[in-house]
Structure 1
């Protein structure tokens, strides 16, 4: 009965979503006007003359692009409990995230923004049901690997990790199906928590598993260690994997080995700042940009981002295949806010995106500006060619080697090593030269020598994340960096 009702609900939501999908520019214009009207009497709205903003051009002239540090004057007042700073009243929650330069970051969640976080995740599953007709998974157990739902309080506002906050909003119709149990979900230590989840879920009919791939992998490996058989045999009805946070492709082959068969996958793009997109079709990997979710989007070309007064585009004038920094204004009170991610459009009818990396996560020690999408694409091609398997990896520049020319150092934890590591390395360098013309020029001009691979021992990256207090939950290993913070951790061991 639950599976049948899910199909009916999926059909209803599909028709409802199609109304804004087929009117994207009008939808975004309405969101833009609504946001300004609701916030015009806040401190931020007064300071930036929201009442006299008539057009998007007016907004761009009056409201500069800011990151967390640049918006901090307002955020600190909001965190201190003052109302009507960035958005009317106080936020319902503060999502606590770990910043790189500013320590802990507090991202507001309001009564207006919170429902969109819940509805988007639900609608991603409903889109899958509508397209494929597969709904049996709703009758089984579903696990969401997430942070602890135990919340603290700061100046009368509850705070915690986004995934922990969202755990309080699981719909009633999913409560009986949802795993892990509340007590186990409250365990703070990640390794202890995963062990407990394994013991709890082993005898159950798990049909859907969700989480960041690197941490789901840890769960799968512990399941196999305990049961001594592939995950697909442990959970015979497990047929849907839902993930977000990182590119799944480097993990896909590894996961199919752990599961023992292929399963459908849905990519989500949630963040503390908003739920931006989800994969609404199994026929392509693009994620539908959510244009009606209380977020007004702007985009800046990544290669112009650090120039003075770069052009700010809307969906009305973006192009396919261009790497953009994504800028948001939201019904949680973030205005022209740089979330740090870069995306490219894979479709303009409807608007679909894929995440390409982080605006600050690149290697340009020599002007090459290598981005995450390029290293992931190159590695995936070479992994497939050599029939290797990767557990995790990151890339860093080596500017001052003991001898010879500088180079890019690839730190790779292999699940299955290639038969010929030297040939693997040569092919990887050649693919990188195809992906990035500037890197190719530097190699050809003898400014850089070919990349060097450093093999990382099993669970080495988990050890690194643990050393940083970032094991589990929503934490992700950067794919690449313009410094050697991660690389030097392994060199110093």
Structure 2
């Protein structure tokens, strides 16, 4: 049976890798063929009739007719879909909705998840993720054990007879048999709503299994792994799971967590980055030991991009993939087989390669500090903190930062709340190192720091243990895809956290 399974797996992997290679060689054609098929398929929907999908033949017509939108623009239409209306944004009735409250707004978002997006985007990307990994590691034995998934909660929206929950829970609920066979914990446990009880149950349920794959948001996986060590009174994870081989992670940047992960193991573990959101599965890491992500171009998502220097203008210049440039920040815009048309996702990316199209996630369109013209983005913060930790022999658990506004004769500043796993010996040295690293990465920040005229040195608070966890718990954001806000252009999060610091 193992030989047959190995043969079938090898056959499938080779077939899919060949397809991926074809897409890499023909990216523009693939993307334009895809949007044409989506327009034809959705032409008789209410949205398709409104914007004349039947007459759209070229990308230029598509870009001129259909406006760029965000969630609030689509909210009335999505509300109708949730009440059971058919053929609004996408043909047929939509049963599933990925609920996301985001990190900048308490208002819940309900992103449609159609059968098309479930199977031709999310599950298909999952297969590609595994195909690429096996292609890169031909001697892998991951299928001889189990894959542990750490997902969110699941609830039934009884008013409209539709389902909503974290995207991970929707996908777990509908897993194809091939994925369910190797996955743990059981669905009943994976879909538990109460996070802390679920975490405890998963630890006990999976600790004695032969786990070889971990999948989840790296911040929550880290909490889980530390709970596992505590429960089994071990120092290293491979004392519990000796065959653990790979961790597929996404949701937040891995940079602040890499040192903590490395301390959990006394053998080599492969880390593979993925870019999955409620709106779609966008990209996967396709190279060993390089976090850059291969953009997935045939998974029911058509991509467009807004140069970030124009993002906050009333007129937004939107470009297709063939017009992008290297190392430039773009806001991501997608049209999907779930009925999101020219939808601003809220993430910012930059291209690290144009052949093939590889990206890195640089931040969020609304996660930055620009109160003084310094344009500090998450990518700057992550790199600067990582370098600072290396130079000061410290380890960060979590952090957030926001502005201290200019007041009377006092210049402004950036205020940081940092929870350390390993404190720096000298906090002033840590602050000065971080300040210098930010200057080296961001010329606008460096200019604003000149002689302390606009910005004085950063203000850093050392947070008590579990401050951010308690804050998330207090705001009912434990587990799943909930994230600690990293940067904010106002004091909403800083002031809230300082109250319980």
**More displaced 10-residue stretch of structure 1: 394-403 or 28-37:** 394-403
User: Counterparts of 1:90-169 in structure 2 under 5 Å?
Assistant: 90-99=93-102, 100-101=104-105, 103-115=107-119, 116-169=121-174
Q: Which residue of 2 aligns with 1:79?
A: 82
Pick from 187, 195, 208: which aligns with 1:190?
Answer: 195
Name the CA distance, whole Å, in 2 between partners of 1:362 and 1:238. Answer: 36
Deviation at 1:400, TM superposition (A): 5.5
2:66 matched residue in structure 1? 63
Aligned partners of 2:296 and 2:403: how far apart in 1? 36
Secondary structure of 2:87's aligned partner: coil
In the superposition, relative to structure 1, how do residues 3 and 417 fare at CA in structure 2: closer, same or farther (>3 Å)? farther
Does the aligned pair in 2 maintain the 1:149–1:163 contact within 8 Å? no
Q: 1:386 to 1:343 in 2, by over 3 A?
A: same
Instruction: Assess if the C-alpha contact under 8 Å between 2:173 and 2:187 holds in 1.
Output: no
Task: Provide structure 2 residue ranges, at least 5 long, that are not aligned to the other structure.
Answer: none
Q: Give 1:4 deviation, angstroms.
A: 5.2
Tell me how far apart the structure 2 counterparts of residues 461 and 156 of structure 1 sit (CA, whole Å): 35
Equivalent residue in structure 1 for 2:383, among 377, 380, 383: 377
Secondary structure of the 2:313 match is coil
* Partner Cα separation in structure 2 for residue 77 and residue 149 of structure 1: 21
Match of 1:44 in 2: 47
2:282 aligned with 1:286: no
Aligned equivalents of 1:330, 1:174: Cα separation in 2 = 24
Q: Deviations over 1:69-96 (max 9, x none)?
A: 1122322222222111111121231212
Aligned residue number for residue 348 of structure 1: 354
SS state at 2:264 partner:
helix
Q: Per the alignment, do residues 191 and 492 of structure 1 end up closer, same or farther by CA in structure 2, a change over 3 Å counting?
A: same
Q: How far apart, in 2, do the equivalents of 1:228 and 1:92 lie?
A: 44
Aligned residues: 493
Within the candidate set 191, 201, 209, 2:206 is matched to: 201
TM-score, normalised to structure 1's length?
A: 0.96
Cα 1:237–1:69 shift into 2, 3 Å = same
Of 403-412 and 393-402, the range deviating more from structure 2: 393-402
Q: Return closer, same or farther for 1:473/1:401 CA change in 2, 3 Å cut-off.
A: farther
Q: Which deviates further from its counterpart, 96-105 or 126-135?
A: 96-105
Shift of 1:349: 0.8
Separation in 1 of the partners of 2:497 and 2:408?
A: 17
CA distance in 1 between partners of 2:425 and 2:10 (Å): 48
CA RMSD, 1 decimal: 1.7
When residues 346 and 233 of structure 1 are mapped into structure 2, their CA distance, relative to the original with a 3 A threshold, is: same
TM-score (norm 2): 0.95
Partner of 1:410: 416
Asked whether the equivalents of residues 407 and 452 of structure 1 are also in contact (C-alpha less than 8 Å), the reply is: yes
CA distance in 2, matches of 1:105, 1:314: 26
Question: What is the alpha-carbon distance in structure 1 between the residues aligned to residue 179 and residue 78 of structure 2?
Answer: 34
**1:91 aligned counterpart, secondary structure:** coil
Larger CA deviation: 256-265 vs 353-362: 256-265
- Paired residue secondary structure (1:357): strand
Residue 177 of structure 2 is matched in structure 1 by 172
**Is 1:479 matched up with 2:482?**
no
1:251–1:102 distance in 2 versus 1, CA, 3 Å: closer
Q: Counterpart of 1:468?
A: 475
Name 2:249's counterpart in structure 1: 243
